[in-house]
Structure formats: structure tokens, C-alpha cells
Amino acid sequence: MGSPDEMMAYSSLSKIDTSQNQRAALSNGVAGNNYPAQDYLYEPSFEPDFPEYDSRDNPFAPTRASPKVDLKTVLGGLVSIVMGANKSEDDASQQQNFTTDISFLGSDKNGDIDVHPSVCVPSAPPLLEASALQYSAYREVLLADPPEWLPDSSAKACLQCNLPFTALTRGRHHCRFCGGIFCKNCSKGRCLLPMKFRIRDPQRVCDACYERLDPLQGLLINYNSNSMQPAKHDVMDWTSTRSWLNMPVGVSMEYEIYKATNTMKKYCQVARLNPEKSIPSSILKGAKGLAILTVAKAGAVLTYKVGTGLVVARRSDGSWSAPSAILSVGLGWGVQIGGELTDFIIVLHDRKAVKAFSSRIHISLGAGLSAAAGPIGRAFEADVRASEKGSGICYTYSCSKGAFVGVSLEGNVVTTRSETNLRFYGDAYLTTTDILFGRVGRPRAAQPLYSALDDLFSRMVC
């Protein structure tokens, strides 16, 4: 192969053809292949037939029409090889041009080709990636069967720390997921278990099983927790004996929801029959929350009170928050005697009162007038509640059953039932503030409660 100067000498031989012959040959070639002139490989030009190629030109690009094979074509191909025409950059430019014509392809900030977000991408990870191992492990956990517990006699020491068991300081605890025997310190975790276990409360698990179950708790909370199950007991008429009398202590959030719903339905009946004994609508309209609980009270001069219930807060958009379980214990002193069972509706007048109920514990002080004779009695109280998160004014309306009369000063301590909330929602990290101020959605199991709240606020009149 000659030098570039010798190549230019070959190129000068092509000038013996006239410009008219070049135009005629080009027009004949285009007409014979029925392609537009702009798509033909060579454009008509009066420049030398073999120009110096730069890195952007590709003489071997695919064409719609093949040129006539002659000395110029052959020499042009040889020159492009010698000059090192870069095919890769041209391919990249063709790829970019291609992506602009395809609607489901796009380019990211780095210029890499990416699939448009509207295109469905399979959620399962590829089998050859590292995340596939995690996916397989999660699938194994979700499909796990309940284990057979090891007998207590099979282990004299903790299977994790190997410390021996004792009668008082280090007892035996079974992991509900693997069935092994561990000490208390090695089995502190509480997790929801997969569906095959048919248990909806968080269970004790060992540290190793906790590490396997913890990444799946969000999924299990949404599908397997008690809060996501439909309400089982939603009949509150005379055909259901549990609706006749609310028990002062509820063992589960489901029963607290039932008691609160039953209490509000009875108040709606009172409002329809005797509006003067109902809660004034002016107070209900300004309510920032409601606490509904059943309390047993008994004594003479000095009375003792205990009861459980729930509290809900009203959000800024007018909807109601998820319920939080509460426990109330207290004392009363005054001119009073007897015993009664009272269903309370406590109207939280402002946001400070809601914050008081969102604390772990708060104290209420107030005065009240109470009278009960037979199955129905009335009581009204006003009190101030204080906690580390603030203080607020509350108005209390109640319906009592029993034999009691008196005027007294009342003091109560109200605490959050964290264990009851844990069994209901299944989330060990959930706080009362999260429940009352909007982080938790409305649970499916509390649907009767929300229906009763809507009915109560729509029917109350002055």
C-alpha cells in the first residue's frame, strides 16, 4: 500500500470524467433502484473521490442500495481501513438515533439506555443476582410450617449463649418459629409469624429467627395482623347478649372496639328519644378527639374505680385516627355510696387534651355528680388532664347501671395499654403518637367504630 501522497495521485485520475457524466451515472443508479437521492450511499460531489475520513464516518454502514462496484469503491474501502475509521462511535450514534424512535426506551442522566417507567418490569429478582438469594430466603420463611417444640428436658442450657437454666434467674423460653429453647435474654424479640402458623399476635422468637422475620414484618402487618382482619362481632341489638352489658376490663382491642361502638349506638338512641340528655352538638363539633371507656366504681365515701377503653383523635381533614387502648384507675372522695358500672364518652376539647392521651401516663382531676338507680343512670363530669406532653380540658358524659348516688372529687390515672396495641397492630415500634396523629391508617377491624362515630356526629342536635 502506498503513501497518502500516492493515494492522492490515484484520486486525481478520476478528474478525467466530466461533471455531466457523473450526474448521469448518479441519476441512472437512483432511478433503477427506486430510492430517493438523499438515501443513496454517495452524494454528487466535485471534491476528490477519496477524502480523508474522520472518526465519525463509516464507509461500511448498511445502505438501502448497493453502489456500482468499480475502482473507486475498492480504493475507498482500502483507504478507510488504513486511516482507521472508528466504527464503534458510529454505532453508538446509530443506537442513540434508534432510541429516539422507540417510545419505551429512554436515556438517563449518564446517557445510558433505560426502560421507560411505564413499561412493566418483573418484580422477582434475576436468579443470578445476589438479591435472588435473599428472595429465596424470604420465600422459605413465608412458606415455613409450624415447628415441633423441643421438650424442656432436651436442653439444660440456652441453645444460643450456652448458659445453664435456673429456676428463678434464667428460665426456659421456646422460640415460636424454630421451636428451640432459649433464655430470656436470647429471645427478647416479638414478631408476627407467617400465615401457616395461624397466629395473629406477635410471638416470642430467638435472636436468629428475629433476624430472619424482621425484614418481613411490614408485609405480615398488612396481611396477618389483627387490625387488618374484618370485625367478627358487629351485632349490637337485643339478640346479642354481649351487647346488654359492657365489661369494665377488655382483654383485647377487638373487644374495646365493640364496647365503644355499643356505647355510641346507645347514645344515638338516647339522642333520638330525648335530645335534652344527649351531648350538645356545639361540644361535639369542637371535639378534637374522643375517649370511650367502661369503668366500674364502688365504695362509700371513698370509692375505687377501674376500667378500660380506647381513644381516637380527629385529624385535620375531619377523618378519625386509628384507636389506641387505654386503662383508667382512680379514687373518689365525697358524699357517696354504692356501686355502678358506667360507660363514659370523654370529649377532648382541644389538641392539648389529645396530646395528654398520647402520653404513656396522665392524671386527671375533677368534680362530678353521679346518680344511678336500676339499669339506667346519668353522670356528668368536667376535669383537667395533665401529662408530660401537655394539659387540656375534657367534658365527660356517661350512662350508668347500678345503685349509686353522690357528689365527689375525682382523681384518675390513665395509661396507654402498649401491650394491647402491640397485639392489635403487630408493630413493636409503634407509639401512641403514631397511632393518634396519622402515621397509622384506619384499621379494617375498627370499621364498626367509624360507622358509629359518623352516626353519632350526624344525629346529635342541640
Q: What is the reported pLDDT for 123?
A: 44
pLDDT exceeding 90 applies to what percent of the chain? 34
CA atoms of 109 and 253, how far apart (whole Å): 51
Of the listed ranges 96-105, 170-179, 286-295, 365-374, the one predicted with least confidence? 96-105
Region 171-186: mean pLDDT is 96
Contacts 24+ apart (CB under 8 A), 81-89: 82/1, 83/52, 83/53, 85/53, 85/55, 85/57, 85/58, 85/59, 86/55, 86/56, 86/58, 87/58, 87/60, 89/55, 89/56
Q: 3-class DSSP state for residue 401?
A: strand
Q: What is the reported pLDDT for 297?
A: 87
Higher pLDDT, 278 or 123: 278
Of the listed ranges 80-84, 194-198, 276-280, the one predicted with least confidence? 80-84
11-21: pLDDT as tens digits: 343 443 444 44
Dihedral pair phi/psi, residue 168, rounded to 5°: -110, -45
Residues 6+ apart with CB under 8 A from 194: 141, 142, 143, 144, 220, 224
The answer to whether the Cα torsion of 375, 276, 385, 311 is positive or negative is: positive
CA atoms of 182 and 172, how far apart (whole Å): 6
Contact 192, 214 (CB under 8 A): no
CA atoms of 148 and 177, how far apart (whole Å): 10
Which three cell numbers, joined as nine digits, stand for 129?
443476582
Region 25-48: mean pLDDT is 42
Q: Which residues pair with 330 in a beta bridge?
A: 305, 412
Contact 401, 245 (CB under 8 A): yes
Distance from the Cα of residue 80 to its chain's centroid: 62
Ranges assigned E (strand) in 251-389: 289-313, 324-348, 361-387
The answer to whether the Cα torsion of 132, 133, 139, 143 is positive or negative is: positive
Tell me how far CA of residue 97 lies from CA of 57, 102, 110, in angstroms.
15, 9, 16
Which three cell numbers, joined as nine digits, stand for 156?
439444660
299-308: pLDDT as tens digits: 888 889 999 9
Give the model's confidence band at 357: pLDDT under 50 very low, under 70 low, under 90 confident, else very high: confident
Give the model's confidence band at 49: pLDDT under 50 very low, under 70 low, under 90 confident, else very high: very low
Which three cell numbers, joined as nine digits, stand for 46?
466535485
Q: What is the reported pLDDT for 317?
A: 86
CA atoms of 383 and 45, how far apart (whole Å): 99
Q: Is 299 left (phi over 0), alpha (psi -120 to 50) or beta?
A: left
198-245: pLDDT as tens digits: 999 999 999 999 999 999 999 999 989 999 999 988 888 778 888 888
Most confident of 27-31, 38-42, 322-326, 410-414: 322-326
Of the listed ranges 80-84, 134-138, 298-302, 346-350, the one predicted with least confidence? 80-84
Give the model's confidence band at 197: pLDDT under 50 very low, under 70 low, under 90 confident, else very high: very high
Higher pLDDT, 158 or 11: 158
Q: Which residues pair with 113 in a beta bridge?
A: 107
Contact 250, 244 (CB under 8 A): no
User: Please, what are the domains in the chain?
Assistant: 4-85 (no CATH), 130-224 (3.30.40.10), 241-459 (no CATH)
Region 241-264: mean pLDDT is 91
Q: What is the reported pLDDT for 273?
A: 79
Contacts 24+ apart (CB under 8 A), 143-151: 143/194, 143/196, 144/177, 144/194, 144/196, 145/196, 146/196, 146/197, 147/177, 147/178, 147/179, 148/179, 149/174, 149/179, 150/174, 150/179, 150/180, 150/181
10: pLDDT strictly greater than 60: no
Q: Mean pLDDT score of the chain, rounded to an integer?
A: 74
CA atoms of 107 and 260, how far apart (whole Å): 57
Tell me how far CA of residue 22 lies from CA of 16, 19, 29, 45, 75, in angstroms.
11, 5, 11, 9, 18
CA atoms of 187 and 93, how far apart (whole Å): 61
Give the model's confidence band at 153: pLDDT under 50 very low, under 70 low, under 90 confident, else very high: very high
Higher pLDDT, 134 or 375: 134
Of the listed ranges 43-47, 158-162, 222-226, 389-393, the one predicted with least confidence? 43-47
Q: Which residues pair with 412 in a beta bridge?
A: 330, 364
Of the listed ranges 118-127, 290-299, 349-358, the one predicted with least confidence? 118-127
Region 237-260: mean pLDDT is 89
How does strand 289-313 pair with strand 390-416?
A: unpaired
Of the listed ranges 232-246, 323-337, 395-409, the one predicted with least confidence? 395-409
How does strand 203-205 pair with strand 189-191?
A: antiparallel
